[in-house]
Amino acid sequence: MTQRQPVSRRTAIKGLGGVAIGLPFLEEMTATSAAAAVAKTPAVPVRAFNVFFGLGIPAPLQTEGFDGVLEPLRPLSKKLLIMRNVDQVRCDEKGINAHFDGASGAFTAEPPDGEAKSGGPSIDQVIRKAHYPNGMPAGMVPTLVGGTFFRRSRVSRYVHSYNDDGTVAAAMQEKPRDLFNRVFGGADIPKTEAEMRRLRISKSVLDSTVEQYRYYTGPNSPLGAASKARVKDHLDRIREFEKRAFRMALHGKTPKQPPKSKLLHGGQADPGGQGIDITLQELTEEWRLMADLYALAIQTDRVRFGALTFLAAGERIRLTGRYEYAGRKIWDFDDSKQLNASGDKGCSHEWWHKFNEKRKNEQLRAHAHMKMNEVAYFLSRLDDADSREANGRTILENALFTVSTESGDGRHSNVKRELSGVFHAISGANGRFKTGQIMDVGAEGIDVYNSMLDGMGVSNRLGPARRDGRAVDGIRV
Amino acid sequence: MNMPNETHVLRLRLTPQAYVWGRVCLVVCMLGMVTGVARADRVATDLIALYEFTEAKGDTVRDRSRAGTPIDLVIDKPGNVQWRHGALVIQRGVAIRSVERARRLTDAIKQSNALTVEAWVKPANTRQDGPARIVTMSDNTSNRNITLGQDGGKYDARLRSGSTSENGIPSTASPNNSLSTDLTHVVYTRDASGNARIYLNGKQSASKKVGGKLDNWNTRYHLILANELTGDRPWLGEMHLVAIYKKALSPKEVEQNFMAGGGTVITAAMRDTSAKLFEAEVAPILARHCLECHGWKSKKGKLDLSQRNLAQAGGKSGQVILPGSAAKSELFKQVLSNDMPDDRPPLSRREKQLLRHWIDTGAVWSTASIERSAYVKPIEPGGNWLRRLTVTEYIETVRVAVGVDIAEDARATLPRDLRADGFSNTAYNLGVDMAHVEGFAKLARTVAQRMDVPKFAVRFTKQRKFDDATLKPMIAAMGKWLLRGPLEPREIDAYLSVAQAVRKEGGDFDEAVSFIVEAMLQSPRFVYRVEKQRGDGKPQPVTGYELASRLSYILWGGPPDDALLRAAAKGELSTKAQVEAQARRMLRDPRARKHSQQFIYEWLDLGRLDYMRPNAKKFPKWEDALAADMRAETLAFYDEVVWKQARPMNDLFNAQVTIVTPRLAHHYGLTPGTSGGVTRYDLSGLPARGGLLTQGSVLTVGGDEGSMVTRGLFVLHSVLRGHVEDPPPCVDTTPVPTKPGLSQRGVALARLANPACGGCHARFEPLAFGLEKFDGLGVHHEKDHHGNTLRDDGELAIPGRDKPIKYQSSAQLMDLLAASDRVKQTMTWKATQWAIGRPLDESDTAILEDIHKAAQRGGGTYSSLLTAIVTSDLVRKTRTEPQP
């Protein structure tokens, strides 16, 4: 597998020239009143991230616990609550298979509302709005959405953070360099007096721009709610830009970019839904760089909310390569050959369609195991020494990480089966939720999510206002 | 024009509050006139007694005629009857009689000398006789005013008049064996001239002269149902409705009441409510819950609920919607009991209530059909996103506004706009990322640097004094141009502060203008199309400047010109005629022609060609430049048909011409031109090729194998505006490879024969049969690589049309598509969605019908279609939200 050295905060900050990136935002940690109001322990802000992986784990395989495809999560088992038997059937949109509506329901518990909209907000955004009603600390990335994926016919296959109105909470960063620039990018440093002079005038240009945007988000704005929210979003990014362009320039340091991606992106990554050939080495190398950078963004407190995707819903890749775990061979991937098909029918997601609990399902197991290994990689990056925080816990323990997927069974022929038993795992969120268990919650995803919101001190709820919810208290400490 | 239509014309004039409903009513009236469809409400004039049996319990049947003091009826033996879903089931002998004498009825009929007795009944058998009394006004077995009864296998009516006995004899009877145990609409009428008729289920069944006046009627008689007053002529069965009129209903009125089913009298106000409910609530409910099985194609139980006429006619078991009575409507009964939808989640309580209310108020259809694709993926109509300029619009706006071509920089800097719901200009998906903010700032700076600032500034002021007095009017004038409308004082002050910063840094007038331009290019009023969206929650006309921008971005893809801004300033965009005049002017401008290509680019997703990666083993001669050539072919063809020849849009499907590069000509097997450039080919001698669907840009949607599934779905979705569920991909989705003796057609036919797949696949795969001779890259063959003979005959199943149309060749298929009104409608829908930048929803359907009609009246050309769109309320008005 990948030979690349992980990016750590320590080395990154050193490489970036010290405090230029990290400190302005680390300073905010202790000044966040919302965080202080909720978290009993000092200097631990409220954070929530959604981690999505495509295609899912069939419910019968989840019952095998860490002896099966969940094995890679075993090292983190004490810091996670694995939830089985979570029902997302309400997310079904008739006539649409679970790749789309199940993926849209992950973290929102709502079916999609259009090709690029969710039916409601995702839990990370509900938490963000509740704890940071006036926006994030200046200069912080409000929401970071990233991922390594290839299928992109509909947005909710790969974006997993949504605003109240169902629109995406932030643009997807699908290349490590793009994500890096989104988080750590800076402006050109003025070197001459002429450039400094231009910078000062540009500040007035930006001030006038901010003023215009502020007007359209204010009480006299002629805009309706959705438009106002859109302009507010724009204003947040201008302020972030302002912070970056002027503060970082004065610090005099800009980060060094990671290398260009070698993989296909954009429309080329999904040529007509026919799938692409990719090796395990190529896949994991880019993903792990993405995971490192996302983790670094959290560690340096540049971001507190967002979503990360490892392979899209209904992903179409023809994977090849030897997969080893803990020194033993798990599988030799060669989807197209093993499926005896080319194009989309030679892609790994066919194994999900062919799932049969009475059979070995070797290929599906290998893919699912690999996915868990990569999810575990990301989570473990937030559980290392660089991630130890003031209260003695790691970021994985302090923040809320919700891991989920699109379906509980890859066979499309039965909606109930397909959207029942959808895998979920959460972290403890600084002692708010139980960890170290595999729990059969036997509840709807919407009730699980709302119980999580309750646990996070958020009064807003997902789903219809008049719905009679059921508290899933078993997950709470 | 019949009575209900007149009623609605009147309402149109008198109801000022809802322009929408006025228009809907007008459409209804027009449809009524055109189709001659019977109105689905009951005759209310001269009604004097009405019993609907909707009480559901108790021993009283209420008179609901509202024609004076109600003549309620009492059931003498309640234990012998049962209330059931809006009917009274008479299981054993019973008399249901008026408490008082039916004097009001008797007097009215004596005065008019005419009457109608109407009933919806279901006899328990065909044997009861006497006649067994269904409806009677009588005293005993020998004295009566009127009796409608059952005499074995026929209905019998006895009427006392100047020419009959006190027992009403001789009677008038329907033919032998005309009575069945089905629910039947039976009507007896006698007019003032003595013509008596019996109608069964809307059709005249018997007639007779029963002369003489009715002034010999006895005013002491009671009204009695299901028996004689003496209790010895019982009738058993179900009573669903009984009505008495003081006139003889005309045959048309009888048919009208039959079509209306058994139910309440429906007033114009109720119809308004019903129409409103249909458009806003019921059509979506039917679309989401019913049409999967009872749509134009599936028609389970021979019931098609997707079209008004067919839905009203009912299915195998008869009418399922009885306007005015949900309780008697089989559709509602099935829904209420959760028996329907079959094997699907039941309707919610609210949905059931809405459905009930709609039927009870008349079950009015405000459109001729339900466009399922408008409802299956509902978009909240309330979501009103302001539109960020797309990258293409941004480039054009900069070019027009300041004369700088920023295309290359913008495309390299700004994130690509992603497609959502078929178009990349869908407002809700035009979000803003950090890269946009950075990009707008960087591009604004680049633009300002590339401009000829002094030349630009002089357009707005002749002075060059660097003081506030000079700058303020200059900013106001420049801002009006760059920001597409007048500036407010706060905006002028904000830009003035930029100039002041320049002055503070020792800059000059030109530098100040340069930075002000830079600021304006980042303003929300430049980056977005800002409109006033606050109001009373109802659609309101947009302002003149807003409309100017709407017109220019829809027709040109860029900002308004001076003429539009002048018209806005003078209030000359306030009438439809003014807007139409501007549209015609603008459509003559080359910008309209150029911008129109964006429509076909988006509609056919021509950007997809950038990512084609055909299997190199299967297509060793493929080169990427061919994909660009294919796109160029389609754009050139579009320009040829739509602009040079100014033909109707639907001619795009069968125009026998194309324009290709030598490379693509060679690929297609055409003789490459000698000029080295693109060559125009007259394809009239090559019928297999001609029209959009025979071009490589479209044929490649089917992938390397030229999948009939994918091509068929493309035609269904993008050409016929049909809807089919996403798979289940059956049990095993692995495609069956072709082989000697088994062509793609053979594979498809096997799939269609598979009950697990065929139900849905039959709706779209045959659409691609006509394209079978084109391989995955659009090359025409008579045989596949196995030597199997290929065919191009098939069937065209058009959504909403009863039967598929057979075609013998791809050329015939193209001709059928070009002639199809469904295809024309699709063009209207697609162009409208593209123009307004959002998915269409249920609230748009009535306006879309208007647009479509107007476009077709204008010849169905691009110009007529876009003119119809921009003069419609979808463009001239905006949705508003109340102040929070």
By mean pLDDT, which of B147-156, B365-374, B783-792 is the weakest? B365-374
- pLDDT for the residue A98: 66
pLDDT number for residue B137: 96
| Separation CA A378–CA A401 (nearest Å) | 11
Residue reference for tokens 């090359």? B779
Best mean pLDDT range from A181-195, B49-63, B852-866: B852-866
Q: Which of B377, B385, B502 sits opposite A227 (nearest CB)?
A: B385
Supply the DSSP string of B244-294, one letter for each residue: EESSPPPHHHHHHHHHH-S-----HHHHHHHHHHIIIIIHHHHHHHTHHHH
Q: What is the pLDDT of residue B388?
A: 97
Give the pLDDT band of residue A228 (cuts 50, 70, 90): very high
Residue of A205, A228, A239 to mutate when probing chain B, most B C-beta within 10 A:
A205
- Mean pLDDT value across chain A: 86
Q: How far is CA B219 from CA B107, B146, B188, B856, in A?
A: 7, 12, 20, 62
Residue B606 distance to chain A (closest CA, Å): 12
Rounded to a whole number of angstroms, the distance from the CA of A390 to the nearest CA of chain B is 31
Q: What mean pLDDT is reported for chain B?
A: 87
Between B376, B416, B612, which is nearest A266 by CB?
Answer: B416
Please give the C-alpha separations between residue B787 and each of A135, A298, B709, B783, B790, in angstroms, as whole numbers.
67, 61, 22, 5, 9
The full DSSP string for A96-119 is S-HHHHHHHHTTT-S-BSSTT-BS
Question: How much is the pLDDT for B54?
Answer: 76
Q: What is the mean pLDDT of residues B462-480?
A: 95
Minimal-distance CA residue of chain A relative to B702: A272
Q: Is B518 within 8 Å of A205 when comparing Cβ atoms?
A: yes
**Which chain B residues contact residue A201 at CB under 8 A?**
498, 501-502, 505, 507, 515
Q: Whole-angstrom Cα distance, residue B20 to residue B845?
A: 11
Angle between helices A176-184 and B434-450 (to 10 degrees): 80
- Mark yes or no for CB contact A223/B377 under 8 Å: no
Q: What is the pLDDT of residue B11?
A: 24
Least confident range from B27-36, B473-482, B591-600, B691-700: namely B27-36
Look at A226 and B428 and tell me if their CB atoms are within 8 Å: yes
Q: Which of A182, A216, A274 is facing B703, going by the closest CB pair?
A: A274
For residue A272, list chain B residues with Cβ-Cβ distance below 8 A.
608, 611-612, 700-701, 703
- Cα torsion through B613, B615, B619, B624, rounded to 10: 20
| CA trace torsion B521, B524, B526, B530 (10° rounding) | -170
Transcribe B183-219 into DSSP letters.
-EEEEEEE-TTSEEEEEETTEEEEEEE--S-STT--T
Which residues fall within 8 angstroms of residue B165, CB to CB, at 6 or more apart? none
d(CA A76, CA A425): 11
Task: Characterize the bridge pairing of strands A48-53 and A400-404.
Answer: parallel
* pLDDT reading at B820 higher than 70: yes
pLDDT band at B627 (very low <50, low <70, confident <90, very high): very high
Burial degree of A368 (CB within 10 A; 0-12, 13-18, 19+): buried
Cβ pair B744, B772 in contact under 8 A = yes
List the beta bridge partners of residue B200. B186, B203
Cα separation, B84 vs B92, in Å, equals 15
Compare CB distances from B613 to A181, A233, A271 and report the shortest one's residue: A271
B418 CB neighbours in chain A (<8 A) are 116, 155
CATH class of B47-260: mainly beta
Residues from chain A that touch B432, judged by Cβ atoms under 8 A, are 230, 233-234, 237
> How near does any CA of chain B get to the CA of A400, in Å?
24
Out of A97, A178, A222, closest to residue B533 by CB: A222
Query: How do residues A117-157 score in pLDDT, each as one tens digit?
Result: 888 999 999 999 999 998 888 778 999 999 999 998 788 88
- Averaged over B667-692, what is the pLDDT? 89
pLDDT at site A354:
87
Query: Quick one: pLDDT at residue B799?
Result: 75
Contact A230 B437 (CB under 8 A): no
Interface test with A, best of B292, B419, B434 (most A CBs within 10 A): B434
* B43 within 8 A of B314, measured Cβ to Cβ: no
Bond from prior residue into A24 cis (ω within 30 degrees of 0): no
Give Cβ neighbours of residue A461 (< 8 Å, ≥ 6 apart): A450, A453, A469
Look at B421 and A266 and tell me if their CB atoms are within 8 Å.
Answer: no
Q: Which residue of B has its CA nearest to A213?
A: B524
Note whether A201 and B502 are within 8 A (CB). Answer: yes
Residue in chain B nearest A230 by alpha carbon: B431
* Confidence band for B299, pLDDT divided at 50, 70 and 90: confident
- Max Cα-Cα span within chain A: 74
Q: In this complex, do B491 and A204 lie within 8 Å of one another by their Cβ atoms?
A: no
Q: Which of A16-30, B442-456, B477-491 has the lowest mean pLDDT?
A: A16-30
Q: What is the pLDDT of residues B370-414, one digit of tens each?
A: 766 555 544 444 478 999 999 999 999 999 999 999 999 999 999
**Contacts of the segment B865-868: beta carbons below 8 A, 24+ positions apart:** B865/B649, B865/B827, B865/B828, B865/B831, B866/B554, B866/B555, B866/B583, B866/B587, B866/B592, B866/B596, B866/B831, B866/B835, B867/B580, B867/B583, B867/B584, B867/B587, B868/B828
State the Cα angle at B856 between B852 and B859, rounded to 5°.
150
Percent of chain B with pLDDT over 70: 90
Beta bridge mates, A306: A49, A144
Look at residue B207 in the predicted model and tell me its pLDDT: 95
Q: What pLDDT score does A415 carry?
A: 63
**What gap in Å lies between CA A266 and CA A16, rounded to an integer?**
29
Looking at residues B436-458, what average pLDDT do you find?
95
Which of A452, A382, A372, A409 shows the shortest CA–CA distance to A53? A372
Structure tokens at B111: 């005065």
CA of A385 to nearest chain B CA: how many angstroms apart?
A: 31
Of A95, A114, A267, the CB nearest to B611: A267
Q: Are A209 and B733 within 8 A, CB to CB?
A: no
Q: Read off the amino acid at residue A24.
A: P
Please measure the distance between the N-terminal and C-terminal CA atoms of chain B and give it in whole angstroms.
46
Residues of A in contact with B388 (CB under 8 A): 230
3-state secondary structure B509-540: HHHHHHHHHHHHCCCHHHHEECCCCEECCCCE
Beta bridge partners of A324: A329
Report the residue of chain B nearest A354, measured CA to CA.
Answer: B732
Question: Where are the alpha helices (H) located in A9-162, listed in sequence order?
Answer: 9-15, 19-29, 33-38, 59-62, 98-105, 123-131
Residue B428 to residue A342, Cβ atoms within 8 A: no
Range among A467-476, B102-111, B356-365 with highest mean pLDDT value: B102-111
Grade residue B289 by pLDDT with cuts at 50, 70 and 90. Answer: confident
Can you tell me the distance from the alpha carbon of B599 to that of B554, in angstroms, rounded to the nearest whole number? 10
Q: Does A268 sit within 8 Å of B611, measured CB to CB?
A: yes
Q: Which of A40, A222, A99 is nearest to B882 (CA)?
A: A222
Model confidence at B734, pLDDT cuts 50, 70, 90, reads low
From chain B, the residues in CB contact with A240 under 8 A are: 434, 437
Residue type at position B388 = R
pLDDT tens for residues B99-127? 889 999 999 999 999 999 999 999 999 99
* Choice among A110-124, A217-231, A295-309, B777-791 with the minimum mean pLDDT: A110-124
Token digits for A440? 């059969």
B434·A412 Cβ contact <8 A:
no
- Nearest CB neighbour to B437, from listed A197, A216, A237: A237
Can you tell me which residue has the tokens 């009204």? B223
Cis preceding-peptide flag for B882 (omega within 30 of 0): no
Which residue is closest to A415 within chain B, CA to CA?
B728
Cβ atoms of residues B228 and B34 within 8 Å: no
Reply yes or no on whether the pLDDT at B39 is more than 60: no
Q: What is the mean pLDDT of residues A334-338?
A: 94
Residue A3 has pLDDT above 60, yes or no: no
Nearest C-alpha of chain B: how many angstroms from A402?
24
Separation of alpha carbons B197 and B215, rounded Å: 20
User: What are the chain B neighbours of A341 within 8 Å (beta carbons)?
Assistant: 734-735
Contact (CB, 8 A) for A280 and A288:
no
From A102-116, B160-174, B202-216, B295-309, the region with the lowest mean pLDDT: B295-309
pLDDT score, position A25: 37
Residue in A181, A200, A208 nearest the CB of B519? A208
- Who has greater pLDDT, B83 or A148? A148
Cβ contact B425:B385 at 8 Å: no
Chain B residue numbers with beta carbons less than 8 Å from the beta carbon of A343 are: 615, 703-705
More confident residue, A194 or B6: A194
Is the CB of residue B649 less than 8 Å from the CB of residue B861? yes
Comparing CB atoms, the residue among A202, A208, A268 nearest residue B495 is A208
What confidence score (pLDDT) does residue B366 get? 74
CA distance B91 to B88: 9
Per DSSP, the three-state class of B465 is coil
pLDDT of residue A343: 82
Q: Which secondary structure element, helix H or strand E, spans residue A402, and what is its range? A: strand A400-404
A245 CB neighbours in chain B (<8 A) are: 441
The alpha carbon of residue B462 is apart from the nearest alpha carbon of chain A, in Å, by: 24
- Which tokens hold the place of B587? 């459509």
Task: Answer whether B502 sits within 8 Å of A238, measured CB to CB.
Answer: no
Mean pLDDT of A333-352: 90
CB pairs under 8 A between A and B: 212
The answer to whether residue A30 scores a pLDDT higher than 70 is no
Do A413 and B728 lie within an 8 Å CB cutoff? yes
pLDDT at res. B74: 95
- pLDDT at residue A109, as a whole number: 93
Best mutation target among A87, A199, A204 (most B Cβ atoms within 10 Å) is A204
SS3 state at B365: coil
Q: Tokens in use for B805?
A: 């149309």
Q: Residue B531: list chain A partners with CB under 8 A.
A: 222
pTM: 0.70
Residue of A nearest to B427 (CA): A227
Contact between residue A188 and residue A306 where contact means Cβ atoms under 8 Å apart: no
Identify the residue among A118, A145, A212, A243 best suited for mutation to test binding to B, counting B beta carbons within 10 A and taking the highest.
A212
**Inter-chain CB proximity A116 and B421 less than 8 Å:** yes
